[in-house]
Amino acid sequence: MKIAIASPDSEIVRPGARVGWGARLDHHRGLIIAISALVLMLVAWVALSATPVGFYDVGSVISSASTLALAAIGQTIVVLSGGFDLSASAVVSLANVLAVRFVQGSPVEQWGGAALILAIGGGIGLMNGALIAWFRLQSIVVTLATMFMVQGLTLLIQNKPGGSVGDQFGAVLTADLIPEKVPMSAGVLIVALLVWAFIKSTRLGVGIYALGSDPDSAYANGMPVTRYRIATYALAGMFYAAAGLYVSAQTGSADPLVGRPLLLSMFTAVVLGGTLLGGGRGGCVGTVFAAMTLMITVNILLVLNVSAFFTTIAEAVILILAVLGSSIGKQSAAHECARHAAQWLKAVRTGTRARNDRNARRVSFEVSDFRPVENTELKGRVIGDWIERNREWTRYVVPAYLLFFAVVVITGFVYGPRVLVSANFYSSLLTLTLFLAILGLGQGAVILTGGLDLSMPWLITLSGVLLTGLTHGLNEAAVWAVPIVLCVGLLVGVFNGVGVVMLGLPPIVVTLAANGLLQGLTLIYCNGSPQGWSPPAISEFANGKLGPLSLAAWSVPVFLVIALLLLHRTPFGRRVYAVGNSPIAAKLSGVRVGTTLIAVYCLSGLCSALVGLLLAGFSSQAFLGMGDPYLLPSIAVVVVGGALITGGRGHYLGVFGGALLLTALGTLLAGTTVPPAVRDIINGLVVLAAVITLRDKRA
């Protein structure tokens, strides 16, 4: 049985009819844009370079772009199927580290080790695909958890740069395909594209495009959707592993963090190469050209004597522009976007809103907040009525607290019962819980609306760096520096919200780009080395004692009450749940969906900035990457607390229980000989277990 799959923006062509030039150009529009961008950057590079650009320089660009191109090919395959793979960078690092262990010995043993590493990469992708396909989970959450587990495993194998790969393996991949003209990396990319061309011509290739275009139609037409989705991620994992092997051959050694900077670059290459986010249109050829374009952009920055700190900013800007540019030629989509933007601006300017339907809004909000309309038969029965109204959310909240108490009991067995009656234990536990509880409020509000905020790590870092840099340890300066830092958090939230609402960009793209922008801005501000100290007042709040507990610990119940009131007793909270359940129903009920989404991202930015301030005070100084360990936990506390990752279901009591659980688990592991990398593995496993156990089985 033959299945015809058409892209959403294509016209149905009658069999035997000739396809016009306009249709052909539109079909290859992404590839044409990618090639045009490459040619334009090449011309700019040649014009700006002080010395003539020859074959050697072009070959160097191809070699430099090969690692990114191979990884981006894998990411392109996943995106074509309608998914996202955040574990790609971690798999690159793992393959790089494994290379110095398995690519050794005789030439046969070296290439056998390389084949084994490719199989390991495919196995990780196989696990991702199986979890996503069998349990119908969101690819973003599954691959994010996998990313931390694989990164933790990589650090367990090798926690610092070093080692060496076999000479024969490295010599082959770094040789010249055509002496002094074409490097072997060009041959590697040609082979990769030939592999993709073969796969594209098979049923699997058709299935990948079908999954991205319309998975329901693909299933209805008899395609083995589950098998194709698993195969897609396995194939992508092999390309990530190939990228890690290639960088091993280039450098001759291993670095456990070599893949971390590639994630933003990968998505930029995918989108700039003409692949449509959401799947169904695009290809890997454009991705390879886009990877080279990014490398030439870096060379142009070097020619202009621009700091390397601007690299992530350039990539983030290119990513956003590429996503916006992918809608060029879609008149109906552009018109619809413009119409919604005009309506939203008018609503903000005039203060008008859709006509209220009190009954409809009441039902929408009550269903969203797990509070069904009151059953008249239970009226007067206080306990029975409370149980009936709260049965749904307590079912998801209670497990986090039960697990928390179990971890506390285990802590007593491991360290002795005296720990459980020590004020220092509870003071430290509540202080560290405060950080996750604040992040859980911001990330939780975003997740409740169906989004995800990946800009947290570098917003936390920027906030801490700004505090120490502006105050230099003076309380007097903190009076005006703290409001500035909080305003920066709000501005980042506005940026994310406007990108999602006004520009219609996927939350993962906007927040990932924002994280890259913030990384570049932080490095530029501190010139790669944070200066100054935290004001004593903030350090005293984070570490000072008031009786048996720290001031931060005493503030935990206060913050808990504020968060509960905000999400569950205010119109804003009810709107958040309404948008998460159904944006269309919320809009018909009179909810300003766009305004609510922007407010949610502003809340997340404000919470991240506040945590940055507190962390700087807790350690008395700021350091680069201080926010990185908090990305997965900020999502984990929400998921473990019973929230549905697709939005609409959750309660802040559950989020707070998740914060207590993860903090207690971290405290238990901190006093043992377990390496810190194991925490990432455990957090990843906790997230996967929670997502699988608490998923919406009706999906």
What confidence tens digit (pLDDT) does each residue in 584-622 have? 999 998 999 999 999 999 999 999 999 999 999 999 999
Those residues with Cβ within 8 angstroms of residue 531's Cβ, 6 or more apart along the chain or in another chain: 468, 469, 472
Task: Give the CA distances from residue 133 to residues 58, 75, 130, 278, 508, in Å, rounded to whole numbers and listed in that order.
Answer: 42, 17, 5, 16, 20
Are the folds of 23-329 and 332-693 the same? Answer: yes
Cα maximum dimension of the chain? 89
Determine the CATH number of domain 332-693: 1.10.3470
Q: Distance (Å, rounded) from C-alpha 140 to C-alpha 628?
A: 17
DSSP-derived 3-state class of residue 453: coil
Amino acid at site 594: G
Report pLDDT for 687: 86
% of residues, the chain, pLDDT over 70:
86
What are the beta bridge partners of residue 545? 550
Can you tell me the mean pLDDT for 375-404?
68
The H-or-E segment that residue 176 falls in is strand 176-178
Put residue 613 in one of left, alpha, beta given phi > 0 → left and psi -120 to 50 → alpha.
Answer: alpha
For the four alpha carbons of 361, 363, 365 and 366, in that order, the dihedral sign comes to positive
Q: Distance (Å, rounded) from C-alpha 380 to C-alpha 384?
A: 9
Report pLDDT for 648: 85
Q: Distance (Å, rounded) from C-alpha 247 to C-alpha 255?
A: 10
Those residues with Cβ within 8 angstroms of residue 223's Cβ, 6 or more apart along the chain or in another chain: 3, 207, 210
Q: What is the pLDDT of residues 360-377, one digit of tens each?
A: 333 333 333 444 344 444
* Cβ–Cβ under 8 Å, residues 54 and 276: no
> Is 695 a residue whose pLDDT tops 90?
no
Delimit the domains of the chain by residue range. Answer: 23-329, 332-693
Report pLDDT for 691: 85
**Which residue do the tokens 């076999």 mark?**
166
Report pLDDT for 578: 93
Q: Which CATH class is domain 23-329?
A: mainly alpha
Can you tell me the mean pLDDT for 165-187?
88
Report pLDDT for 492: 97
* Cβ–Cβ under 8 Å, residues 132 and 233: yes
The H-or-E segment that residue 550 falls in is strand 549-550
For the four alpha carbons of 354, 358, 360 and 366, in that order, the dihedral sign comes to positive
Strand runs labelled E in 191-334: none
Report pLDDT for 9: 39
> Is 682 a residue whose pLDDT tops 90?
no
Q: Residue 457's pLDDT band (boundaries 50, 70, 90)?
A: very high
Report pLDDT for 435: 97
Can you tell me the mean pLDDT for 103-123?
95
Can you tell me the mean pLDDT for 50-69?
88
- 549 φ/ψ angles, rounded to the nearest 5 degrees: -120, 160
Q: Distance (Å, rounded) from C-alpha 159 to C-alpha 150?
A: 13
- 274 φ/ψ angles, rounded to the nearest 5 degrees: 100, 5
Q: What is the pLDDT of residues 484-515, one digit of tens each?
A: 999 999 999 999 999 999 888 899 999 999 99
Q: Distance (Å, rounded) from C-alpha 436 to C-alpha 608?
A: 10
| Nearest Cα residue to 460 out of 429, 484, 497, 485 | 485
Q: What is the pLDDT of residues 217-270, one digit of tens each?
A: 888 888 999 999 999 999 999 999 999 999 999 999 999 999 998 999 999 999
Q: Distance (Å, rounded) from C-alpha 689 to C-alpha 696?
A: 14
% of residues, the chain, pLDDT over 90:
61
* Cβ neighbour number for residue 266 with a 10 Å cutoff: 30
> Is 21 a residue whose pLDDT tops 50?
yes
Report pLDDT for 384: 58
| Nearest Cα residue to 196 out of 288, 320, 109 | 288
Report pLDDT for 328: 55
- Mean pLDDT over all residues of the chain? 86
DSSP-derived 3-state class of residue 456: helix
Q: Which residue has the higher pLDDT, 83 or 326?
A: 83
Those residues with Cβ within 8 angstroms of residue 689's Cβ, 6 or more apart along the chain or in another chain: none
> Is 408 a residue whose pLDDT tops 60?
yes
| Nearest Cα residue to 196 out of 236, 153, 249, 248 | 236
